[in-house]
Amino acid sequence: MTTQTGKDLITIAISKGRVFEESLDLLASLNIQVVEKDLEGRKLLLSTSQPGIRLLVIRSKDVPTYVQYGVAELGIVGKDVLMEFTGGGIYEPVDLGIAKCRLMVAGMEPQLQNSTRLRVATKYVRSTQQHFAAKGLQVELIKLYGSMELAPVLGLADCIVDLVATGNTLKANGLTPIEHIADISCRLIVNKAAMKIKSATLRRLIEQFKLAAKG
């Protein structure tokens, strides 16, 4: 196997967790396969069937940061994460069409009570603020890190803003979708400086991702 130097090595940052398998399937359709034994362990830097390409497996929220600083030239990450990201230095050239879901307002009633100052529990603080500001509503945001569905049930908040795929989690907790904020799917992101320095390789890969993207 030829050893790649930093000049021609491409690192793709991908998210652990829910979107991991779908990201690997998409990469496999580009003929970028992870070496099987790497998947069994807890390695976070994975070599692939292409000697010039390696994968970096990190938390979804860290993917844009690694790409911003050029540690990874490419990243695969949910639009929900990108909507919360305040850094720069990245392009978002391809909607990969995987891990599709919606960012929604949900609560126990089918409508929001507009007489009071709403308390909204979410981990999507930026998107939530923008959504309610656009409606001219001032809300009190309660930042949570998980299990948002409990907040309205236990009276911590009037409603939540969370990702909804099948709607089963909402239903199981007695909640109803109220407002649609955004359609979410995974996006390919690219470091802007790398796009100049490794232009030919990255342009070729971006074209391959476009062809492999799910409609």
- 10 vs 81 by CB, closer to ligand AMP: 81
95 binds ligand AMP per the rule CB under 6 A: no
6 backbone φψ class: left, alpha, beta (φ>0; ψ -120 to 50): alpha
Out of 115, 138, 168, 204, point to the residue binding ligand AMP (CB under 6 A). Answer: 168
- 5 vs 166 by CB, closer to ligand AMP: 166
211 binds ligand AMP per the rule CB under 6 A: no
Four-point Cα dihedral 190, 192, 194, 198, nearest 10: 90
The site map against ligand AMP for 61-90 (x = CB under 6 A) is: -----------------x------------
On whether the CB atoms of residues 190 and 89 are closer than 8 A, the answer is no
Out of 73, 95, 158, 162, point to the residue binding ligand AMP (CB under 6 A). Answer: 162
Out of 165, 193, 197, 211, point to the residue binding ligand AMP (CB under 6 A). Answer: 165
Report the amino acid identity of residue 32. I
Out of 24, 63, 163, 212, point to the residue binding ligand AMP (CB under 6 A). Answer: 163
- What lies within 8 Å, CB to CB, of 95 at 6+ separation is 185, 187, 213
- What lies within 8 Å, CB to CB, of 182 at 6+ separation is 79, 80, 83, 102, 103, 127
Distance, CA of 124 to CA of 81 (rounded, Å): 8
Question: Which residues form the interface with ligand AMP (CB under 6 A)?
Answer: 18-19, 78, 99, 101, 162-169
